[in-house]
A and B are shown apart, each in its own frame.
Chain A
Amino acid sequence: MQPINEIKLEFLSKSSNEAFARVVAAAFVSQIDPTLEELADVKTAVSEAVTNAVIHGYENSQGLIRMHCKLFCDAVEIIISDDGVGIEDIELARQPLYTSKPDMDRSGMGFTVMESFMDIVEVTSKPGEGTTVYMFKTFKSLIK
């Protein structure tokens, strides 16, 4: 499947870039005109992945976060990656309500939200090297 459009974005792990990244993703995806609800799904999933890179990946120190989006006629692929601390046990990290930072008002629902708002969520990570989150969503409203 050939994408009809593609973008790559690299930005500092500042919390103000969480809104920037999700707005960019939504603007990019809006080219194929999905429903507002589908756009909100993408926005929320991107916000979760980028926030995780900021809070957990770089633990509020500064590093670069990459977002790579490919647009298809009725779907989007989004890859968000960081070169931060990485995840020891991915299966545990993805469990609903699991958080390594319960003291910071985190609820441990980020991955669960991504899974529920996107069709596919795949996580690869190596401790000390970083984390990559691959997400894919087909827009039901655009399937012909």
Chain B
Amino acid sequence: MIAGVVGELDHHSADYIRQKLDAELVKASNKNIIFDLSKMSFMDSSGIGIIMGRYKNIQKLGGKASLVGLSDQSRRIFEMSGLLKIVPAYETIDEALKNM
């Protein structure tokens, strides 16, 4: 599944994004997920929680997660938290697919 985040990811929008993602993940037959953040205009630490939470859920089902389209700002935030060590970041969706 490829999930695109468009707009701002903060505590306010996180509830909606979480519900959407979890509903789609339940339906999906393939539990791998690529987060495409190239259209995300803002993110704070709420983003770490959202990605980490989804990663934990799909990991139990044998799924993998990766990130694409990081801005400098979001990369710094993810790096600080150590998230990129378990949810790797790639330049393109193709590259992420190859490494799934």
Contact = CB atoms under 8 A, between A and B. Distances in A.
Given A109-B45, A110-B45, A19 B10 contact: yes
Interface of B: 8, 10-12, 14, 18, 42-46, 48-50, 52-53, 72-73, 76-77, 80-81
B76 A116 contact: yes
Given A40-B73, A44-B73, A51-B46, A116 B52 contact: no
Interface in A35-73: 37, 40-41, 43-44, 47-48, 51, 54-55
Contacts of B8: 19
Contacts of A112: 80-81
B40 to A, nearest CB: 12
B80 A18 contact: no
A116 B49 contact: no
25 contacts: A15-B10, A16-B12, A19-B8, A19-B12, A37-B73, A40-B42, A41-B73, A44-B42, A44-B73, A47-B44, A48-B45, A51-B11, A51-B44, A105-B18, A105-B52, A105-B53, A107-B48, A107-B52, A109-B77, A109-B81, A112-B80, A112-B81, A113-B44, A113-B45, A113-B77
Interface of A: 15-16, 18-19, 22, 37, 40-41, 43-44, 47-48, 51, 54-55, 96-97, 104-107, 109-110, 112-113, 116
A106 B49 CA distance: 5
Nearest to B49: A105
Q: Which of B8, B11, B53 has the most CB of A within 10 A?
A: B11
